[in-house]
Structure 1
Amino acid sequence: MKGRLYKRLSCDFGKILEDGDRYDVVIEVGELPINQSYNVHSIILRHRCPSLYKELNEISLDTSDVKTIYKPHISTKAFTIIIKYIYCGKRAIKNFHHEQGGPAFGSLDFQLEGNFKTGKSGYCLRYDYETPIRSERSFSVKDYEVFQ
């Protein structure tokens, strides 16, 4: 029963993404001539991808009450997988796995985190030096030199 409910809910969120009705965010990815716009919903980003939502809060509305995020360094193919994961969960990315968790895209700007093999929920993490180079257990001189 639980599996069917999740599958149906996943399909419903997929339809919301495809339909794009009542969107309030446009995400433009890729560089001309190979670029694409995605009409998405801030409420979904708020709960499923905090890094994009944080970026969204720093952008002001345009004349049509829509916010636009530009990601020219991420390919359209990669972002299609990311946005489907954000909306539909792991069912959208069955064949894409990364050693550390989920797939990583572009210049490691985003990586999908979570235990995909056991089915535990995941989330979208932005890799903009969010991971500290020094922790209580380890310190890497090599990583530190890269930052300087």
Structure 2
Amino acid sequence: MSYTPRDSTARDSARSVIQARFRASVDSDVSGLAAQHCFERQLLTPDGIPAAQLCIGSHEAVTYLIWQSFAPVWEGVVYIYDGFRTEQNRYLHAKLHLTLALAAAGDEATPGVKAALMAAERALHTLWLAWAGHQATTTDALARAVTEFGDL
């Protein structure tokens, strides 16, 4: 059995819908929580500024860093029935860790910040695979987006 152009068009359309909803559905502002952690730990930047000050309002910049190189990859997306809560928690935890690392480094791209960014990007990719699979599984109209057996 092989895909016809019509099947491919339906799949691409379903994938487009899933991709368009991804960021708004999974990303949350963790800057307030990051500021609280910085305050509780009394973290200071290398310049002696309370790191908590850098966390407030950092959501857009941190989100941009994580998402700037994100490209949804459909290879590896399979039907997922259990949801994606674990992957979303891991992503948000990685985003929080990146926010804390950036604030403590005074917004400098230190090796620790680079490592935290890479971890957040990996967590985002893992979240994408689970989220897209769950969307395709639980929404009949989007089920065409996943082809577990490739383009047969």
When normalised by structure 2's length, the TM-score is 0.25
Largest Rg, 1 or 2:
2
When normalised by structure 1's length, the TM-score is 0.25
Instruction: Give the structure with the higher percent helix.
Output: 2
